[in-house]
Structure 1
Amino acid sequence: MTALTTIDFPGRLAAVVFCQGCPWRCGYCHNQALLDTAAPPAIAWADVLDFLQARQGLLDGVVFSGGEPTLQAGLPGAIEDVRARGFQVALHTAGMYPDRLAAILPRLDWIGLDLKAPLHRYDSVTRVPGSGERAWASLRRWLASGVAGECRTTWHAGLFGVAELHALAERIAALGVTHWALQECRGSGAGASLGRQDIDRLAAHFSSFTLRKA
Protein backbone atom coordinates (compact mmCIF):
# COMPACT_ATOMS: atom_id res chain seq x y z
CA MET A 1 0.00 0.00 0.00
CA THR A 2 1.06 3.55 -0.74
CA ALA A 3 -0.25 5.84 1.98
CA LEU A 4 -0.57 8.98 -0.15
CA THR A 5 -0.61 9.80 -3.85
CA THR A 6 -1.55 12.96 -5.71
CA ILE A 7 -1.19 11.52 -9.23
CA ASP A 8 -2.98 8.14 -9.36
CA PHE A 9 -6.52 9.49 -8.80
CA PRO A 10 -6.75 12.87 -10.58
CA GLY A 11 -7.96 15.70 -8.38
CA ARG A 12 -7.95 13.61 -5.22
CA LEU A 13 -5.62 12.77 -2.37
CA ALA A 14 -5.63 9.00 -2.23
CA ALA A 15 -4.04 5.83 -0.95
CA VAL A 16 -3.10 3.06 -3.38
CA VAL A 17 -3.74 -0.60 -2.66
CA PHE A 18 -1.66 -2.86 -4.92
CA CYS A 19 -3.32 -6.21 -5.57
CA GLN A 20 -1.15 -9.27 -6.07
CA GLY A 21 -1.26 -11.34 -9.24
CA CYS A 22 -1.47 -10.85 -13.01
CA PRO A 23 -1.87 -13.50 -15.74
CA TRP A 24 -0.16 -11.39 -18.42
CA ARG A 25 3.59 -11.05 -18.92
CA CYS A 26 4.24 -7.74 -20.65
CA GLY A 27 7.96 -7.26 -21.18
CA TYR A 28 7.97 -3.65 -19.94
CA CYS A 29 6.07 -4.35 -16.69
CA HIS A 30 7.47 -2.25 -13.84
CA ASN A 31 5.57 -4.13 -11.09
CA GLN A 32 7.01 -7.58 -11.72
CA ALA A 33 7.09 -8.32 -7.99
CA LEU A 34 3.29 -8.33 -8.11
CA LEU A 35 2.89 -10.87 -10.92
CA ASP A 36 2.98 -14.06 -8.81
CA THR A 37 -0.56 -14.87 -7.70
CA ALA A 38 0.71 -17.22 -5.00
CA ALA A 39 2.92 -14.64 -3.25
CA PRO A 40 1.84 -13.91 0.35
CA PRO A 41 0.21 -10.54 1.05
CA ALA A 42 2.39 -7.75 2.38
CA ILE A 43 -0.43 -6.26 4.44
CA ALA A 44 -3.69 -7.66 5.78
CA TRP A 45 -6.93 -6.12 4.51
CA ALA A 46 -8.01 -5.46 8.11
CA ASP A 47 -4.88 -3.33 8.54
CA VAL A 48 -5.72 -1.39 5.39
CA LEU A 49 -9.18 -0.65 6.77
CA ASP A 50 -7.70 0.46 10.10
CA PHE A 51 -5.41 2.82 8.20
CA LEU A 52 -8.32 4.24 6.19
CA GLN A 53 -10.41 4.68 9.33
CA ALA A 54 -7.64 6.86 10.75
CA ARG A 55 -7.45 8.89 7.51
CA GLN A 56 -11.12 9.81 7.22
CA GLY A 57 -11.32 13.50 6.43
CA LEU A 58 -7.70 13.55 5.26
CA LEU A 59 -7.87 11.35 2.16
CA ASP A 60 -10.45 11.61 -0.61
CA GLY A 61 -10.17 8.17 -2.13
CA VAL A 62 -8.56 4.78 -2.60
CA VAL A 63 -7.00 3.43 -5.78
CA PHE A 64 -6.99 -0.30 -6.46
CA SER A 65 -4.00 -1.11 -8.65
CA GLY A 66 -1.73 -4.06 -9.26
CA GLY A 67 -0.89 -6.50 -10.65
CA GLU A 68 -4.45 -6.79 -11.87
CA PRO A 69 -7.10 -5.91 -9.25
CA THR A 70 -9.98 -7.61 -11.08
CA LEU A 71 -8.14 -10.93 -10.69
CA GLN A 72 -9.09 -10.78 -7.00
CA ALA A 73 -12.42 -12.36 -6.04
CA GLY A 74 -12.52 -10.08 -3.02
CA LEU A 75 -12.35 -6.84 -5.00
CA PRO A 76 -16.11 -6.06 -5.05
CA GLY A 77 -16.31 -6.49 -1.28
CA ALA A 78 -13.21 -4.39 -0.77
CA ILE A 79 -14.72 -1.60 -2.86
CA GLU A 80 -17.83 -1.68 -0.69
CA ASP A 81 -15.69 -1.57 2.46
CA VAL A 82 -13.95 1.54 1.15
CA ARG A 83 -17.13 3.29 0.04
CA ALA A 84 -18.80 2.54 3.38
CA ARG A 85 -16.05 4.60 5.03
CA GLY A 86 -16.80 7.60 2.83
CA PHE A 87 -13.98 7.28 0.30
CA GLN A 88 -14.22 7.51 -3.47
CA VAL A 89 -12.82 4.60 -5.48
CA ALA A 90 -10.52 4.45 -8.50
CA LEU A 91 -9.35 1.40 -10.41
CA HIS A 92 -6.26 0.81 -12.51
CA THR A 93 -6.86 -2.18 -14.78
CA ALA A 94 -5.71 -3.81 -18.00
CA GLY A 95 -9.27 -4.94 -18.68
CA MET A 96 -8.52 -8.64 -18.84
CA TYR A 97 -11.84 -9.64 -17.22
CA PRO A 98 -14.59 -7.61 -18.95
CA ASP A 99 -17.49 -9.24 -17.08
CA ARG A 100 -15.91 -8.59 -13.70
CA LEU A 101 -15.16 -5.02 -14.72
CA ALA A 102 -18.75 -4.46 -15.84
CA ALA A 103 -20.01 -5.67 -12.45
CA ILE A 104 -18.01 -3.10 -10.49
CA LEU A 105 -18.15 -0.13 -12.87
CA PRO A 106 -21.26 1.35 -11.16
CA ARG A 107 -19.26 1.53 -7.90
CA LEU A 108 -16.25 3.34 -9.38
CA ASP A 109 -15.58 7.07 -9.50
CA TRP A 110 -12.62 6.90 -11.87
CA ILE A 111 -10.81 4.31 -13.99
CA GLY A 112 -7.43 4.13 -15.66
CA LEU A 113 -7.64 1.48 -18.39
CA ASP A 114 -4.37 0.24 -19.83
CA LEU A 115 -4.94 -0.48 -23.51
CA LYS A 116 -1.70 -2.06 -24.61
CA ALA A 117 -1.85 -2.32 -28.39
CA PRO A 118 -3.93 -2.61 -31.55
CA LEU A 119 -5.92 -5.82 -31.46
CA HIS A 120 -3.64 -7.70 -33.88
CA ARG A 121 -0.57 -6.87 -31.76
CA TYR A 122 -1.99 -7.67 -28.33
CA ASP A 123 -0.85 -11.25 -27.85
CA SER A 124 2.75 -10.37 -28.70
CA VAL A 125 2.73 -7.72 -25.96
CA THR A 126 0.99 -9.70 -23.22
CA ARG A 127 2.35 -13.11 -24.28
CA VAL A 128 -1.12 -14.57 -23.67
CA PRO A 129 -3.39 -15.72 -26.52
CA GLY A 130 -6.78 -14.01 -26.76
CA SER A 131 -5.85 -11.12 -24.49
CA GLY A 132 -6.73 -8.42 -27.00
CA GLU A 133 -10.39 -9.36 -27.40
CA ARG A 134 -10.88 -9.14 -23.64
CA ALA A 135 -9.12 -5.81 -23.25
CA TRP A 136 -11.01 -4.19 -26.12
CA ALA A 137 -14.30 -5.55 -24.75
CA SER A 138 -13.47 -3.91 -21.41
CA LEU A 139 -12.74 -0.63 -23.17
CA ARG A 140 -16.18 -0.65 -24.77
CA ARG A 141 -17.90 -1.49 -21.48
CA TRP A 142 -16.12 1.30 -19.68
CA LEU A 143 -16.98 3.86 -22.37
CA ALA A 144 -20.64 2.80 -22.29
CA SER A 145 -20.74 3.23 -18.50
CA GLY A 146 -19.96 6.94 -18.43
CA VAL A 147 -17.46 6.52 -15.57
CA ALA A 148 -14.73 9.17 -15.67
CA GLY A 149 -11.21 8.07 -16.47
CA GLU A 150 -8.39 7.81 -18.94
CA CYS A 151 -7.17 5.29 -21.47
CA ARG A 152 -3.42 4.78 -21.39
CA THR A 153 -0.99 3.04 -23.71
CA THR A 154 2.68 2.22 -23.18
CA TRP A 155 4.59 2.34 -26.44
CA HIS A 156 7.97 1.94 -28.01
CA ALA A 157 8.94 1.12 -31.57
CA GLY A 158 9.78 -2.48 -30.69
CA LEU A 159 6.16 -3.17 -29.75
CA PHE A 160 4.49 -1.80 -32.89
CA GLY A 161 5.19 0.91 -35.42
CA VAL A 162 4.40 4.60 -35.47
CA ALA A 163 1.79 4.15 -38.21
CA GLU A 164 0.02 1.57 -36.05
CA LEU A 165 0.16 3.97 -33.12
CA HIS A 166 -1.61 6.62 -35.18
CA ALA A 167 -4.21 4.06 -36.27
CA LEU A 168 -4.72 3.09 -32.62
CA ALA A 169 -5.30 6.71 -31.65
CA GLU A 170 -7.86 7.14 -34.42
CA ARG A 171 -9.64 3.93 -33.46
CA ILE A 172 -10.03 4.65 -29.76
CA ALA A 173 -11.06 8.25 -30.44
CA ALA A 174 -13.76 6.96 -32.78
CA LEU A 175 -15.00 4.66 -30.00
CA GLY A 176 -15.34 7.61 -27.62
CA VAL A 177 -12.07 7.91 -25.72
CA THR A 178 -11.52 11.57 -24.88
CA HIS A 179 -8.63 11.27 -22.40
CA TRP A 180 -5.54 9.37 -23.57
CA ALA A 181 -2.18 9.07 -21.86
CA LEU A 182 0.67 7.86 -24.05
CA GLN A 183 3.53 6.43 -22.01
CA GLU A 184 6.62 6.39 -24.21
CA CYS A 185 9.30 3.92 -23.12
CA ARG A 186 12.88 5.06 -22.91
CA GLY A 187 16.09 3.08 -22.57
CA SER A 188 17.74 0.12 -24.24
CA GLY A 189 15.70 -1.48 -27.00
CA ALA A 190 13.03 1.22 -27.07
CA GLY A 191 13.99 2.55 -30.48
CA ALA A 192 13.41 6.05 -31.78
CA SER A 193 11.27 8.52 -29.86
CA LEU A 194 8.26 10.24 -31.35
CA GLY A 195 8.82 13.55 -33.06
CA ARG A 196 6.87 16.73 -32.40
CA GLN A 197 4.76 16.30 -35.52
CA ASP A 198 3.69 12.79 -34.50
CA ILE A 199 2.85 13.93 -30.98
CA ASP A 200 0.74 16.80 -32.27
CA ARG A 201 -1.13 14.49 -34.68
CA LEU A 202 -1.87 12.02 -31.90
CA ALA A 203 -2.99 14.73 -29.49
CA ALA A 204 -5.39 16.22 -32.04
CA HIS A 205 -7.77 13.27 -31.64
CA PHE A 206 -8.46 13.91 -27.95
CA SER A 207 -9.78 16.66 -25.72
CA SER A 208 -7.10 15.66 -23.18
CA PHE A 209 -3.76 14.13 -24.17
CA THR A 210 -0.81 13.44 -21.88
CA LEU A 211 2.64 12.27 -22.95
CA ARG A 212 4.60 10.50 -20.24
CA LYS A 213 8.10 9.11 -20.34
CA ALA A 214 8.13 5.60 -18.86
Structure 2
Amino acid sequence: MRIGGHITSTLEFPGHMSIVFFTAGCNLLCSYCHNPELIDVDGGEDIPLKELYRIIQDSSDFIDAVVITGGEPLLQSDDAKKLLECCHDYDLKTKLDTNGCYPKKLKKIIDVVDYVALDVKAPFDAYKEIIGDDVGDLVKKSMELCYDSDCFLECRTTYVPSLMNPEDMEKIAKEITCDLYTIQQFRNRTVLDEKLQNTPNTTRKELLKIANKIKPFLDNVKIKTGEFGDEIIK
Protein backbone atom coordinates (compact mmCIF):
# COMPACT_ATOMS: atom_id res chain seq x y z
CA MET A 1 0.00 0.00 0.00
CA ARG A 2 1.33 3.44 -0.89
CA ILE A 3 1.66 5.29 2.41
CA GLY A 4 2.97 8.78 3.14
CA GLY A 5 3.41 8.13 6.85
CA HIS A 6 1.48 7.46 10.04
CA ILE A 7 0.97 9.13 13.42
CA THR A 8 -0.84 8.51 16.68
CA SER A 9 -3.57 11.05 17.41
CA THR A 10 -6.39 11.87 19.82
CA LEU A 11 -7.91 14.36 17.34
CA GLU A 12 -8.57 12.54 14.08
CA PHE A 13 -11.24 10.21 15.49
CA PRO A 14 -13.17 12.20 18.13
CA GLY A 15 -13.13 10.50 21.51
CA HIS A 16 -10.61 7.85 20.49
CA MET A 17 -6.87 7.31 20.49
CA SER A 18 -6.04 6.27 16.94
CA ILE A 19 -3.32 5.40 14.52
CA VAL A 20 -3.66 7.57 11.41
CA PHE A 21 -2.35 6.27 8.09
CA PHE A 22 -1.80 8.85 5.33
CA THR A 23 -2.22 7.34 1.87
CA ALA A 24 -0.39 8.85 -1.09
CA GLY A 25 -2.12 10.00 -4.26
CA CYS A 26 -5.17 12.18 -4.86
CA ASN A 27 -7.35 12.74 -7.91
CA LEU A 28 -8.08 16.39 -7.05
CA LEU A 29 -5.87 19.47 -7.05
CA CYS A 30 -7.63 21.69 -4.54
CA SER A 31 -5.80 25.01 -4.36
CA TYR A 32 -6.04 25.11 -0.55
CA CYS A 33 -4.90 21.50 0.02
CA HIS A 34 -3.07 21.29 3.36
CA ASN A 35 -1.32 17.99 2.47
CA PRO A 36 0.02 18.86 -1.00
CA GLU A 37 2.96 16.49 -0.56
CA LEU A 38 0.49 13.60 -0.71
CA ILE A 39 -1.20 14.54 -4.00
CA ASP A 40 1.37 12.70 -6.09
CA VAL A 41 1.51 8.96 -5.46
CA ASP A 42 5.28 9.33 -5.36
CA GLY A 43 4.78 11.25 -2.12
CA GLY A 44 4.64 7.93 -0.31
CA GLU A 45 6.40 4.59 -0.22
CA ASP A 46 5.13 1.08 -0.84
CA ILE A 47 4.65 -0.63 2.49
CA PRO A 48 3.45 -4.27 2.52
CA LEU A 49 0.10 -4.79 4.17
CA LYS A 50 1.74 -7.27 6.53
CA GLU A 51 3.90 -4.43 7.86
CA LEU A 52 0.84 -2.22 8.37
CA TYR A 53 -0.92 -5.10 10.14
CA ARG A 54 2.11 -5.39 12.43
CA ILE A 55 1.95 -1.69 13.27
CA ILE A 56 -1.71 -2.08 14.22
CA GLN A 57 -1.06 -5.20 16.26
CA ASP A 58 1.87 -3.62 18.12
CA SER A 59 -0.28 -0.57 18.93
CA SER A 60 -3.49 -2.36 19.81
CA ASP A 61 -2.92 -2.16 23.57
CA PHE A 62 -3.00 1.64 23.65
CA ILE A 63 -5.24 2.62 20.72
CA ASP A 64 -8.92 1.94 20.11
CA ALA A 65 -9.26 3.18 16.53
CA VAL A 66 -7.57 3.41 13.13
CA VAL A 67 -8.01 6.25 10.64
CA ILE A 68 -7.17 6.09 6.94
CA THR A 69 -6.79 9.51 5.36
CA GLY A 70 -4.82 11.00 2.52
CA GLY A 71 -4.45 11.97 -0.20
CA GLU A 72 -7.49 9.99 -1.26
CA PRO A 73 -7.62 6.50 0.33
CA LEU A 74 -10.16 5.14 -2.15
CA LEU A 75 -7.55 5.27 -4.90
CA GLN A 76 -6.26 2.20 -3.04
CA SER A 77 -9.66 0.88 -2.00
CA ASP A 78 -8.81 -2.83 -2.10
CA ASP A 79 -5.84 -2.44 0.25
CA ALA A 80 -7.75 0.04 2.40
CA LYS A 81 -10.54 -2.50 2.88
CA LYS A 82 -8.07 -5.21 3.88
CA LEU A 83 -6.46 -2.85 6.37
CA LEU A 84 -9.81 -1.91 7.89
CA GLU A 85 -10.83 -5.58 8.10
CA CYS A 86 -7.65 -6.21 10.08
CA CYS A 87 -8.70 -3.48 12.53
CA HIS A 88 -11.92 -5.29 13.33
CA ASP A 89 -9.90 -8.39 14.21
CA TYR A 90 -8.55 -6.32 17.13
CA ASP A 91 -11.93 -4.74 17.99
CA LEU A 92 -10.71 -1.34 16.83
CA LYS A 93 -13.05 1.36 15.51
CA THR A 94 -12.40 2.48 11.94
CA LYS A 95 -12.62 5.86 10.22
CA LEU A 96 -12.20 6.77 6.57
CA ASP A 97 -11.56 10.28 5.25
CA THR A 98 -12.59 10.73 1.61
CA ASN A 99 -13.30 13.40 -0.97
CA GLY A 100 -16.33 11.43 -2.13
CA CYS A 101 -15.33 11.07 -5.78
CA TYR A 102 -15.58 7.27 -5.80
CA PRO A 103 -19.06 6.18 -4.62
CA LYS A 104 -18.75 2.75 -6.27
CA LYS A 105 -15.52 2.02 -4.42
CA LEU A 106 -16.98 3.45 -1.23
CA LYS A 107 -19.93 1.07 -1.51
CA LYS A 108 -17.55 -1.91 -1.50
CA ILE A 109 -15.79 -0.74 1.67
CA ILE A 110 -18.56 0.88 3.71
CA ASP A 111 -19.42 -2.29 5.65
CA VAL A 112 -16.04 -2.20 7.45
CA VAL A 113 -16.13 1.54 8.25
CA ASP A 114 -17.58 2.93 11.48
CA TYR A 115 -17.06 6.63 10.72
CA VAL A 116 -16.75 8.49 7.43
CA ALA A 117 -15.50 12.07 7.17
CA LEU A 118 -16.65 13.32 3.77
CA ASP A 119 -15.26 16.51 2.31
CA VAL A 120 -18.01 18.65 0.81
CA LYS A 121 -15.86 21.26 -0.82
CA ALA A 122 -18.60 23.35 -2.43
CA PRO A 123 -22.30 23.35 -3.26
CA PHE A 124 -22.76 20.28 -5.42
CA ASP A 125 -23.43 22.31 -8.59
CA ALA A 126 -20.46 24.64 -7.98
CA TYR A 127 -17.59 22.14 -7.75
CA LYS A 128 -16.25 23.02 -11.20
CA GLU A 129 -16.24 26.72 -10.39
CA ILE A 130 -14.70 26.44 -6.92
CA ILE A 131 -12.24 23.53 -7.10
CA GLY A 132 -11.92 22.98 -10.85
CA ASP A 133 -13.44 19.47 -11.08
CA ASP A 134 -17.07 18.73 -11.91
CA VAL A 135 -17.51 15.96 -9.35
CA GLY A 136 -20.38 17.32 -7.25
CA ASP A 137 -22.82 14.60 -8.32
CA LEU A 138 -20.33 11.90 -7.30
CA VAL A 139 -19.83 13.49 -3.88
CA LYS A 140 -23.59 13.69 -3.41
CA LYS A 141 -23.92 9.97 -4.21
CA SER A 142 -21.20 9.16 -1.67
CA MET A 143 -22.99 11.25 0.94
CA GLU A 144 -26.29 9.48 0.33
CA LEU A 145 -24.59 6.07 0.45
CA CYS A 146 -22.96 6.82 3.81
CA TYR A 147 -26.08 8.32 5.33
CA ASP A 148 -28.12 5.25 4.37
CA SER A 149 -25.50 2.92 5.93
CA ASP A 150 -24.75 2.08 9.54
CA CYS A 151 -21.67 4.31 9.73
CA PHE A 152 -21.49 7.75 11.35
CA LEU A 153 -21.24 10.46 8.70
CA GLU A 154 -19.44 13.75 9.19
CA CYS A 155 -19.55 16.19 6.29
CA ARG A 156 -16.94 18.92 6.45
CA THR A 157 -16.08 22.06 4.52
CA THR A 158 -12.97 24.21 4.68
CA TYR A 159 -14.19 27.78 4.35
CA VAL A 160 -11.81 29.69 2.05
CA PRO A 161 -13.04 33.30 1.74
CA SER A 162 -11.34 33.95 -1.59
CA LEU A 163 -13.12 30.96 -3.15
CA MET A 164 -16.46 30.92 -1.33
CA ASN A 165 -18.90 33.20 0.47
CA PRO A 166 -21.36 32.69 3.34
CA GLU A 167 -24.17 32.12 0.83
CA ASP A 168 -22.28 29.10 -0.53
CA MET A 169 -22.06 27.69 2.99
CA GLU A 170 -25.79 28.17 3.50
CA LYS A 171 -26.47 26.38 0.22
CA ILE A 172 -24.29 23.45 1.30
CA ALA A 173 -26.14 23.26 4.62
CA LYS A 174 -29.46 23.01 2.79
CA GLU A 175 -28.16 20.29 0.43
CA ILE A 176 -26.45 17.87 2.80
CA THR A 177 -27.72 15.10 5.08
CA CYS A 178 -25.29 13.93 7.76
CA ASP A 179 -24.86 13.22 11.47
CA LEU A 180 -22.44 16.14 11.93
CA TYR A 181 -21.39 19.10 9.80
CA THR A 182 -17.99 20.64 10.48
CA ILE A 183 -16.82 24.02 9.19
CA GLN A 184 -13.05 24.04 9.12
CA GLN A 185 -10.76 27.03 9.37
CA PHE A 186 -8.70 27.90 6.31
CA ARG A 187 -5.03 28.30 7.21
CA ASN A 188 -2.62 29.73 4.66
CA ARG A 189 0.62 28.29 5.99
CA THR A 190 0.60 25.15 3.79
CA VAL A 191 -1.38 25.34 0.54
CA LEU A 192 -1.02 23.97 -2.97
CA ASP A 193 -1.55 27.33 -4.69
CA GLU A 194 0.96 29.84 -3.37
CA LYS A 195 -1.41 32.69 -4.23
CA LEU A 196 -3.59 31.61 -1.31
CA GLN A 197 -0.77 32.44 1.08
CA ASN A 198 -2.00 36.02 0.70
CA THR A 199 -5.52 35.05 1.80
CA PRO A 200 -5.93 35.72 5.53
CA ASN A 201 -6.75 32.78 7.78
CA THR A 202 -10.43 32.63 8.60
CA THR A 203 -11.16 33.69 12.16
CA ARG A 204 -13.21 31.97 14.82
CA LYS A 205 -15.61 34.92 14.69
CA GLU A 206 -16.20 34.41 10.95
CA LEU A 207 -16.84 30.70 11.37
CA LEU A 208 -19.18 31.23 14.32
CA LYS A 209 -21.21 33.71 12.29
CA ILE A 210 -21.60 31.21 9.45
CA ALA A 211 -22.32 28.32 11.83
CA ASN A 212 -25.07 30.20 13.63
CA LYS A 213 -26.65 31.16 10.31
CA ILE A 214 -26.81 27.57 9.04
CA LYS A 215 -27.68 25.92 12.37
CA PRO A 216 -31.46 26.02 11.62
CA PHE A 217 -30.88 23.65 8.69
CA LEU A 218 -28.79 21.01 10.49
CA ASP A 219 -29.06 19.19 13.81
CA ASN A 220 -25.34 19.14 14.66
CA VAL A 221 -22.84 21.79 13.59
CA LYS A 222 -19.22 22.19 14.68
CA ILE A 223 -16.46 24.64 13.90
CA LYS A 224 -12.79 23.70 13.97
CA THR A 225 -9.97 26.20 14.44
CA GLY A 226 -6.30 25.92 15.27
CA GLU A 227 -6.74 28.23 18.24
CA PHE A 228 -9.77 26.67 19.90
CA GLY A 229 -10.05 23.17 18.42
CA ASP A 230 -13.51 21.66 18.01
CA GLU A 231 -16.52 23.66 19.18
CA ILE A 232 -20.06 22.34 18.98
CA ILE A 233 -22.60 25.05 18.14
CA LYS A 234 -25.48 24.99 20.63
TM range (shorter): 0.7 to 0.9
Moved more, 46-55 or 95-104: 46-55
* CA 155–192 in structure 1, closer or farther in 2 if over 3 Å, else same: closer
Match in the other structure for 1:19: 23
Offset at residue 66 of structure 1 (A): 0.3
The separation in 1 between residues aligned to 2:16 and 2:74, in whole angstroms, is 22
Of 62, 68, 77, the match for 1:64: 68
The separation in 2 between residues aligned to 1:151 and 1:76, in whole angstroms, is 21
Q: In 1, are the aligned partners of 2:114 and 2:150 still within 8 Å (CA)?
A: no
Match in the other structure for 2:225: 213
**Aligned pair 1:202/2:203, yes or no?**
no
Match in the other structure for 2:104: 99
The separation in 2 between residues aligned to 1:96 and 1:122, in whole angstroms, is 11
TM-score, scaled relative to structure 2:
0.81
Of 24, 31, 38, the match for 1:34: 38
The separation in 1 between residues aligned to 2:158 and 2:73, in whole angstroms, is 19
TM-score, scaled relative to structure 1:
0.88
The separation in 2 between residues aligned to 1:209 and 1:100, in whole angstroms, is 28
Question: What RMSD, in angstroms, separates the aligned Cα atoms of the two structures?
Answer: 2.2
The separation in 1 between residues aligned to 2:223 and 2:208, in whole angstroms, is 11
Moved more, 92-101 or 182-191: 182-191
Letter paired with 1:104: I
Aligned pairs for 1:96-135 within 5 A: 96-128=101-133, 130-135=134-139
Letter paired with 1:180: Y
Match in the other structure for 2:86: 81
The separation in 2 between residues aligned to 1:30 and 1:186, in whole angstroms, is 8
Letter paired with 1:182: I
Secondary structure at 1:204's aligned position in 2? Answer: helix
The separation in 1 between residues aligned to 2:210 and 2:96, in whole angstroms, is 30
Offset at residue 53 of structure 1 (A): 1.3
Letter paired with 1:213: T
Q: In 2, are the aligned partners of 1:91 and 1:110 still within 8 Å (CA)?
A: yes
The separation in 2 between residues aligned to 1:23 and 1:15, in whole angstroms, is 24
- Summarize deviations over 1:170-193 as a string: whole Å, max 9, x none: 221xxx323110013245225876
* CA 48–155 in structure 1, closer or farther in 2 if over 3 Å, else same: same
- Summarize deviations over 1:47-85 as a string: whole Å, max 9, x none: 322222112231101100000001104222222222223
The separation in 2 between residues aligned to 1:195 and 1:86, in whole angstroms, is 36
Q: In 2, are the aligned partners of 1:109 and 1:147 still within 8 Å (CA)?
A: yes
Offset at residue 136 of structure 1 (A): 1.2
Letter paired with 1:19: T
- Give every structure 1 segment of 4 or more consecutive aligned residues whose post-TM-superposition deviation is greater than 4 Å: 190-193
Secondary structure at 1:7's aligned position in 2? Answer: coil
Unaligned runs of 5+ in 2: 189-197, 227-234
Match in the other structure for 2:183: 182
**Aligned pair 1:163/2:172, yes or no?**
no
Secondary structure at 1:52's aligned position in 2? Answer: helix
The separation in 1 between residues aligned to 2:199 and 2:160, in whole angstroms, is 9
The separation in 1 between residues aligned to 2:38 and 2:149, in whole angstroms, is 29
